Amino acid sequence: MPYDDQNIFAKILRGEIPCKKVYENEFVLAFHDINPQKKIHVLVIPKGHYKDFEDFNQRASDKEIVEFNKSVSEVVKVLNVQATGYRILSNIGSDGGQEVPHLHYHIFAGEKVGKMVS
Which residue number, 69 or 98, has a Cβ lying nearer to ligand AMP? 98
Which residue number, 30 or 60, has a Cβ lying nearer to ligand AMP? 30
How many CB atoms are closer than 10 A to CB 76? 20
- Residue 66 CB, shortest distance to ligand AMP, in Å, is 23
Site for ligand AMP, rule CB under 6 A = 8, 17, 19, 33-35, 43, 91, 97-100
| Nearest-angstrom CA–CA distance, 72 and 4 | 24
Active site residue 104: yes
Q: Which amino acid is at 67?
A: E
Maximum distance among all alpha carbons in the chain?
Answer: 40
CB proximity list for 103: less than 8 A, separation 6 or greater: 45, 46, 50, 51, 52, 53, 55, 56, 90
- Residue 60 CB, shortest distance to ligand AMP, in Å, is 18
Which residue number, 62 or 99, has a Cβ lying nearer to ligand AMP? 99
**What are the catalytic residues?**
104
